[in-house]
Amino acid sequence: MGNTIPPDPKATAMTLLMDTPTTALTTPPADVSEWVNSWAEILTPTDIVWCDGSARERNELIELMQSTGTIEALNPDLRPYSFVARSEPTDVARVESRTFVCSESEDDAGPTNNWMAPDDMRAELLELSQGAMAGRTMYVVPFSMGPIDSPMARYGVQITDSPYVVVSLHLMVRVSNRILNAISGGANWVKCFHTVGAPLAEGEKDVAWPCNDTKYISHFPESREIWSFGSAYGGNALLPKKAFALRIASVMARDEGWLAEHMLLVRITSPEGKRYHMVAAFPSACGKTNFAMMQPSLPGWTVETLGDDISWLAVDDSGNLRAINPEAGFFGVAPGTSTSTNPVAMDTLWGNTIFTNVAVTEDGDVWWEGMSKPAPTGLTNWRGEAHNPESGDPAAHPNARFTVGIEQCPSLAEDWDNPEGVVIDAIIFGGRRSDTVPLVMEARDWDHGVYLGATVASEKTAAAEGTVGELRRDPFAMLPFAGYHMGDYMAHWLSIGETLRAGGKMPRIFQVNWFQKDDNGRFIWPGFGDNIRVVEWMVKRIEGHVGVNDTALGLTPHTADIDIDAADIDEDTLAGLLSVNPAKASADVDASSEFLESFGSKLPEGIRRQLDHARAKLQA
C-alpha cells in the first residue's frame, strides 16, 4: 500500500501471530508490566486481570455484571444475547467541561480546548487515584485501532476497573493478546488509564453503576497518554473512542503527516458498477449515521458502510489519499433511530447488543423516543422506574446508546477490514442550516475545501443546550475532538493538500446542507435515501460530466443536473435550495471571519485568502 500513515518505526512485530484471534500470553511486555504495576501501587486493586478479547472472557464479564445489577438481560426471543444498562443519573454523557488537553504549552492546546499544565494535572489525578480501585479488579485491555496487520493501525492498552467498559471495548475495537505480542516486539503504544473512582471497603456492597462526582478526562499529547477518572460512561471511559482515535491520534497525525478525522466512510457503487469512496464530516444531529447506512432511492445505486464515525486518512506512495475505519463497532445514539429513519441500524441491533439508558417494554425489549408511535404502554424508563407518560419526561435518556459490533451491519462492505484501506474520491462537509447554505456545493480547490470545513456550522436543536436556532461553529466537526490548536489543525489540512498536489491526485471536496426549511418550518429536501441524488451529482462532477455555477460561496449544480424523478420535490423548489442569497451569504462570511479570527496569529494565511476571495465575489 505504499507509506499511507507512516508505519510506527518500532512496529517490527506487527505481523506476529496474525493467524489466530487471540494467543496465549506467557510473559507480558516489560514496559506494559511496569506501567500496570506502577498504577497498581497507586490504585491498590484486589486483583489484576490481563484481558485477551475472547468470547469466554466476554461471557464471564456479562455474567458478573448481571450478578451485580449493572446490566439486565433482555428477552432472548426478541433481542438475543442483548442487555440493558442503566447509568447513575449524573453519569450520562461526555463531560466536555471536564475534558482537558494537557500539552506542555498552553498555546498548543489552543482556545477550543480546556488546558491544565501536565504536572499539575498529574498531581491532582494521582491524589484522587490513591486507593481508587480498592476492592475492585483492575482489567488490562490491549487493543488495536485499525486492522492489526495494517500499517495504518495504532496500538493501545487501557486499564480500567469497569467490566462494562471491558465488554464495550470488546464490541468497539479489536481486543487481543496479539497487540501485547506486537508491543513485545517493539511497537509503540498509547497508555490509557481509567478508573470509576469508587473504591470498595471490605464487606461494602457495590452499587450497580459505580462512579464519582468528580470527573476528569485528561490527554497528554507529548507522552501519548490518557488519564480518565470518575465516569463509566461513553467517551469518558471508552478511551479508544474519541480520546485516542481523535484527540491523541490527531496529534500523532500532525507529527507523522496524516489525518485523524470525525468522519464516516462509505463506498458508493453506480449502476454501471463503478465504485467511489467518500468520507463525510457532520456535526451532531446532521445525519451522519443515516448517510453511513443510506438506502438509496435511485435505482441501481448502492451504499456500503465502511465506518460511521471516525476515519484515519493518509497519502500513499502513489499520491492517493487512503482511509481506514480504526474502530470495529458502533456506539450510536438510540433516540430518533427507527425503521423509517435508519432501517439498516435497526437491523444491526437484532442481538448481541449492549443498550444503555434506553426504556424497556413489558415483554422485555428496548424502546426509545422516535422508535415508534405511539409509545408502548407499561414501559420501564431509563432510571428503572415505571414510565409515566403524563410527566413529560422521556422514557429513554436523550443520549441513550447502543454498542454493537460492526460486522452485524447489513450494509457493511465485505472488505471493510482491508488493512490497505480505500482510496478516497470525495470529502464531504455538512451542517444544519435552515437557510444561507445551499443543498450542495463543490469547493473550487483543496484550500477552498479546507475553508468550507473550517466554517461548518449547525443550528442548535431543541435537544441541545442553548437557544434553539443559535449557530454553533464546529470546524470539520472536530471542535470538541482536536487534540491541539485549531489554527494549527487547519494549517495541517492545508499541508496535506500540498502533498496531494505534488502527486496530482486530489479528492473533490463538497459541502451539503440537508436542512433548509420553508416558511412553515418544514424541511424542504426529502433527505434520507433521496440524498443519493446529491451524491449522484458529486459522481458526475468527479467524472467531469456536468458543469457548475460559480457562486460567492462555492460551485453549485445546474438544476437540471440533479435527478429528482419520483422525488417529493419540484424543479422550482430545487432551484431555491441551490440558490445563494447575497445578503445572507455576506452576513455568514462576516460571522465566519469573526469566528476564525478567534484563532489569532495561528489562523493560516490560506484561510484568510479564502475569506478575502469570498468577500470579493460578493462585491462583484
Q: Report which of 526, 514, 529 is spatially closest to residue 297, judged by C-alpha positions.
A: 529
State yes or no: is 286 an active-site residue. Answer: yes
CB 213 within 8 A of CB 89: no
Rounded CA separation 195/36 (Å): 13
Beta strands in 179-258 (DSSP E): 190-195, 216-220, 225-229
Rounded CA separation 195/231 (Å): 8
Bridge partners (DSSP) of residue 312 are 260, 324
DSSP letter assigned to residue 327: -
Q: Which residues contact 438 (CB under 8 A, 6 or more apart)?
A: 513, 551, 553, 554, 556, 577, 578, 579, 580
DSSP letter assigned to residue 407: G
Annotated catalytic residue within 102, 211, 286, 409: 286
Coil, strand or helix at 313: strand
Rounded CA separation 375/370 (Å): 9
Where residue 579 falls (left for φ over 0; alpha for ψ -120 to 50; beta otherwise) is beta
Dihedral angle over CA of 559, 563, 564, 567, nearest 10 = -150
DSSP letter assigned to residue 205: P
Q: Report which of 224, 220, 222 is spatially closest to residue 100, judged by C-alpha positions.
A: 220
Q: Report which of 508, 509, 510, 516 is spatially closest to residue 580, judged by C-alpha positions.
A: 516
Dihedral angle over CA of 281, 286, 287, 289, nearest 10 = 60
Cell of 528: 434520507
Looking at the annotation, which residues are catalytic? 286
